[in-house]
């Protein structure tokens, strides 16, 4: 297992690096051309939420905004098919590797102060790669955002990551690329190695247009030949390849070879067994990294981070490496999303334990609901319900208010707001066939629009005056015979105001085809229905009077329709006599 780092740390594309790491089809550079690479199986998201990570990266104002690390496994380390299928033997070691990687990357930084990260897989090459994307920041204890690099360009940082890699490879018996037995004949930087490996899969040969890729590909061919197996045979051939792109070799300490150009400030550094960096003498100098060395590197990084970003306010706690390897705190998905979820063989005692736990959870939920219901019932038992009864009575009764807008929700026949009727205002007058004195907007065109909609008007007089004026006009031209509605003959209780309004509205719709009809009600409960040139009044005492240009047949049909809708027998509608003083239940 090899831990590598991408050189890319910023991008103008707001979807990077998540798009490249997680898309199933990407455009890759192979030489000077760009080709589409289809990843099958598709990358799998193991950890985190890319949208949150991408938003954090986009919000940073630093020049370098993120780091991407790659954990590359040999084909013999992790079985790709078993990993995608969800076998625990393949997934648990990977979970431990990611868990310990994050502990080393943010050594000494508490969880709340770390940035969000996400991790995904690449398995289309036949071996497993874990890509981990991290925004380059941490939160200080004061809430300040500070730039943070988990892989600073220092030798001590590389040694710390090598120590972690050696610990993991030794624990899980993975191949160690730093082991002398696995030393490569020639190798270059990780990012160049990946592009050369991709070109090898696609049978692409680099040209002099890409000097470093051309030289590294040529160096690998030389090292694979019989002439380039040692330094003496490798150097002459490599010098010719470098001269083709105007580079020249320059030896470096430890047997490494640098290919330098006067126009390129960054030389290509090669190392490997063919250059003498993997000889027996060199291997004798190599030593394994025991756990205590890993611990020492972690403490050095933790002390540096605590001092630089928290002014020693953090109290870093070293993770128990051995325990975290056995029981990682990171939980991976059960399997690849394109694979069926793994089914474990049923175990007798495990099944009983699961059923017992499920039953305990059900009982706990039932107890919680019962307790909540009991608490709600106790609160309701102490509540004074008389207040609710008063509210209910108030809502069921249409009350008069001095502000006419309070009755605006009651629509007239023409669907406009129903306004409360006042008891008579001003001198009695007849205009356009109507009669005044029964309230604003009822047959009085001086205070109502042409369509007959009721309008508010200051009140004057009293309901008694209104009834007296209606009775005084009984003998005038256009007056209609009076009736008395004997409600006591059919009703056992009081009528609600809304019932009366609905009856009047329905009767008016069934009798008259005109739309300009208004229904009014005064503060004492008396009702009146008015058309453009007629008006019918229903007094609280049950007396009914009508005036205006309305035929006797329509008048009686309207009254019978009201009785029918109130479910009152037509016999309860009796002609009114002057001596009739019977009292009926209130409307």
Q: What is the pLDDT of residues 206-227, one digit of tens each?
A: 888 889 999 999 999 998 888 8
**Order of strands across the sheet with 527-530?**
518-521, 527-530, 534-538, 543-548, 479-485, 573-575
User: At which residue do the structure tokens 């954990």 appear?
Assistant: 71
Distances (CA, A) of 559 to 203, 545, 583: 100, 11, 19
User: At which residue do the structure tokens 């390129």 appear?
Assistant: 264
Element (H, E) at 305: helix 291-310
The full DSSP string for 48-92 is S-HHHHHHHHHH--SSS-EEEEEEE--TTTS-HHHHHHT-HHHHH
Burial class for 98, CB neighbours closer than 10 Å (0-12, 13-18, 19+): buried
Backbone φ and ψ of 66, nearest 5°: -155, 165
Q: Is the pLDDT of residue 319 over 80?
A: yes
Tell me the pLDDT band of 60, cut-offs 50, 70 and 90: very high
List, for residues 63-78, the tens digit of each pLDDT value: 999 999 999 999 999 9
Q: Is the pLDDT of residue 171 over 70?
A: yes
How would you classify the pairing of strands 479-485 and 573-575?
antiparallel
Tell me the pLDDT band of 552, cut-offs 50, 70 and 90: confident
Tell me the pLDDT band of 232, cut-offs 50, 70 and 90: confident
Q: Rounded CA gap, 528 and 537, in Å?
A: 4
List, for residues 76-122, the tens digit of each pLDDT value: 999 999 999 999 999 999 999 999 999 999 999 999 999 999 999 99
Q: Rounded CA gap, 471 and 458, in Å?
A: 23
Q: Which of 68-77, 275-284, 336-345, 549-558 has the highest mean pLDDT?
A: 68-77
List, for residues 471-494, the tens digit of each pLDDT value: 444 444 447 888 887 756 555 456
Q: Rounded CA gap, 525 and 463, in Å?
A: 9
Q: Which of 184-198, 204-218, 419-433, 554-568 has the lowest mean pLDDT?
A: 419-433
Give the mean pLDDT of the chain.
78
Tell me the pLDDT band of 292, cut-offs 50, 70 and 90: low
**434 or 282: whose pLDDT is higher?**
282
Q: What does the angle CA 507 – CA 509 – CA 511 come to, to the nearest 5 degrees? A: 65
Distances (CA, A) of 31 to 195, 204, 211, 241, 343: 8, 7, 10, 17, 45
Domains of the chain, by residue range, sit at 2-178+286-326, 204-278, 346-383, 400-575
CB atoms within 10 A of CB 389: 10
Q: Is the pLDDT of residue 165 over 70?
A: yes
**424 or 567: whose pLDDT is higher?**
567
The pLDDT score that the predictor gives to residue 346 is 58
Beta-carbon contacts of residue 217 (< 8 Å; ≥ 6 apart): 196, 199, 205, 206
The crossing angle, in degrees rounded to 10, of helices 155-172 and 291-310 is 140
Answer whether 516's CB lies under 8 Å from 414's CB: yes
pTM of the complete model: 0.53
Q: Is 439 left (phi over 0), alpha (psi -120 to 50) or beta?
A: left
User: Which pairs from 444-448 meet CB under 8 Å and 24+ separation?
Assistant: 448/518
The pLDDT score that the predictor gives to residue 555 is 85
User: Which pairs from 14-23 meet CB under 8 Å and 24+ separation?
Assistant: 14/54, 14/58, 15/54, 17/66, 17/68, 17/133, 18/50, 18/53, 18/54, 18/118, 18/133, 21/68, 21/120, 21/131, 21/133, 22/50, 22/120
Q: Is the pLDDT of residue 376 over 80?
A: yes
Answer whether 19's CB lies under 8 Å from 13's CB: yes
Among the listed residues 47, 202, 230, the one whose alpha carbon sits nearest the alpha carbon of residue 133: 47
Answer whether 131's CB lies under 8 Å from 68's CB: yes
């Amino acid at each position: 297992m090899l831990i590598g780092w991408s050189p890319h740390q910023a991008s103008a594309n707001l979807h990077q690096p998540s798009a490249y790491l997680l898309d199933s089809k990407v455009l890759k550079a192979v030489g000077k051309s760009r080709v589409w690479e289809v990843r099958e199986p598709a990358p799998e998201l193991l950890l985190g939420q890319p949208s949150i990570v991408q938003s954090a990266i986009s919000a940073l104002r630093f020049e370098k905004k993120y780091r991407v690390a790659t954990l590359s496994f040999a084909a013999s380390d992790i079985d790709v098919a078993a990993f995608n299928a969800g076998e625990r033997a393949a997934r648990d070691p990977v979970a431990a590797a990611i868990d310990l990687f994050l502990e080393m990357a943010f050594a000494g930084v508490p969880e709340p102060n770390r940035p969000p990260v996400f991790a995904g897989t690449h398995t289309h090459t036949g071996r497993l790669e874990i890509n981990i994307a991290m925004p380059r920041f941490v939160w200080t204890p004061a809430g300040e955002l500070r730039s943070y690099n988990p892989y600073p360009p220092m030798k001590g940082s590389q040694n710390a990551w090598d120590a972690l890699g050696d610990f993991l490879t030794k624990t899980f018996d993975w191949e160690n690329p730093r082991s002398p037995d696995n030393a490569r004949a020639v190798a270059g930087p990780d990012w160049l190695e990946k592009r050369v490996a991709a070109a090898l899969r696609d049978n692409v040969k680099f040209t002099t247009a890409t000097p470093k890729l051309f030289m590294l590909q040529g160096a690998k061919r030389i090292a694979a030949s019989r002439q380039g197996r040692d330094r003496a045979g490798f150097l002459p051939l490599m010098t010719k390849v470098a001269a083709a792109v105007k580079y020249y070799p320059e030896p470096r300490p430890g047997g490494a070879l640098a290919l330098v150009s006067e126009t390129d400030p960054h030389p290509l550094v090669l190392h490997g067994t063919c250059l003498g960096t993997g000889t027996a003498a060199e291997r004798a100098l190599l030593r394994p990294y025991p756990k205590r060395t890993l611990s020492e590197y972690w403490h050095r990084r933790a002390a540096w981070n605590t001092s630089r970003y928290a002014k020693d306010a953090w109290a870093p706690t070293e993770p128990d490496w051995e325990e975290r390897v056995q029981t990682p705190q990171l939980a991976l998905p059960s399997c690849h999303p394109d694979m069926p979820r793994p089914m474990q063989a049923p175990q007798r005692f495990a099944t009983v334990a699961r059923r017992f736990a499920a039953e305990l959870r059900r009982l706990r939920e039932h107890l919680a609901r019962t307790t909540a219901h009991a608490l709600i019932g106790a609160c309701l038992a102490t509540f004074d319900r008389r207040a609710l009864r008063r509210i209910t009575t108030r809502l069921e009764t249409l009350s008069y208010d001095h502000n006419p807008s309070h009755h605006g929700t009651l629509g007239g026949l023409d669907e406009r707001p129903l306004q409360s009727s006042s008891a008579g205002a001003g001198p009695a007058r007849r205009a356009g066939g109507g009669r005044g004195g029964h309230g604003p907007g009822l047959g009085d065109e001086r205070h109502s629009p042409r369509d007959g909609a009721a309008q508010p008007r200051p009140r004057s007089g009293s309901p008694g005056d209104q009834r007296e004026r209606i009775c005084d006009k009984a003998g005038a031209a256009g007056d209609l015979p009076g009736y008395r509605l004997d409600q006591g003959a059919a009703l056992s209780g009081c009528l609600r105001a809304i019932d009366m309004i609905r009856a009047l509205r329905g009767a008016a719709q069934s009798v008259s085809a005109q739309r300009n009809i208004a229904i009014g009600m005064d503060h004492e409960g008396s009702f009146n229905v008015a058309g453009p040139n007629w008006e019918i009044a229903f007094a609280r005492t049950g007396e009914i009077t009508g005036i205006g240009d309305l035929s006797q047949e329509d008048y009686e049909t309207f009254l019978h329709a009201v009785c029918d809708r109130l479910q009152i027998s037509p016999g309860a509608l009796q002609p009114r006599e002057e001596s009739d003083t019977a009292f009926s239940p209130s409307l």
